[in-house]
Amino acid sequence: MRANEDQLRAWMVGGLDGVAADHACLLRALVPILSAFYSRRVFASDDIEDLVQETLIAVHSRRATYDRDRAFTAWLFSIARYKMIDHFRRSRSVVPIEELEDILMVEGFEASSGARLDIEDLLGTLPAKQARMIRATHIDGATVAEAAAASGYGESDVKVSIHRGLKALAARIRGSET
């Protein structure tokens, strides 16, 4: 089973505190994660092993750049992405345009799953009815009429809920930026 963010981060912090066993656990757990990361993007297995090793060395020797208050996997994948780009530059290889779409989709997946988490967090701050109506119409793509029929509320009631909910979200986002 793949280790998750919390487990990896705990090991990382243990390693930073000087616990060699935690550090070893971390590096071992990173091997499958990094192999998967690179095999989706690089296409020769020798290169993948080299890249995994280089990344492990970087994670080890540059661990002072990890900020304990921030996500571990974001830090890890930033290093992995840098190593991959550096690899392409060194080998002067050109990524074929047909495969580029896959790469972009994989990259997009990370961003969109991050955005989805943010949305769920934000919707969680609204009253349940408003959150449900926004989810139905703006995320799942139902029309107002469909959402009204499915929930048993009147259409204008649904519209008002959505309107108030979006307004509250907008205010909240503006508030958290300043």
Partner 1 sequence: MNTDQLIDSLASDVKPVRRSALGARLGFGMLIGALVSAALVIMLLGARPDLASAMNGFAFWMKWTYTLSLSAIAVYATAQLARPNPGNLRVLWLIAIPVTLLAGVGVLELAHTPPGEWLAMWLGSSWSKCPWYVFGLAMPIFIGLLWSFRRLAPTRLRAAGAAAGLAAGAFAATVYCLHCPEVSAIFVLTWYTLGILLAASLGALVGPRLLRW
CB of 10 to partner 1, least distance (A): 15
CB of 14 to partner 1, least distance (A): 9
Structure tokens at 120: 């769920």
Residue 3 interacting with partner 1 (CB under 8 A): no
Q: Looking at 38-46, 76-84, 123-131, 161-169, which segment touches partner 1 (CB under 8 A)?
A: 76-84
Assess contact for 42 and 87: CB atoms under 8 A: yes
Q: How many residues comprise the chain? A: 178
CB nearer partner 1, residue 82 or residue 109: 82
Provide the mask over 124-143, with x wherever binding to partner 1 is found by CB under 8 A and - wherever it is not.
--------------------
CB of 86 to partner 1, least distance (A): 7
Structure tokens at 136: 């139905």
Structure tokens at 90: 């060194």
Site size toward partner 1 (CB under 8 A) is 35
* CA distances for 74 relative to 59, 67, 71, 166, 170, angstroms: 13, 11, 6, 29, 27
Closest CA to 113 of 152, 80, 151, 74: 74
Residue 10 interacting with partner 1 (CB under 8 A): no
Assess contact for 80 and 55: CB atoms under 8 A: yes
Selected binder of partner 1 within 4, 45, 65, 125 (CB under 8 A): 65
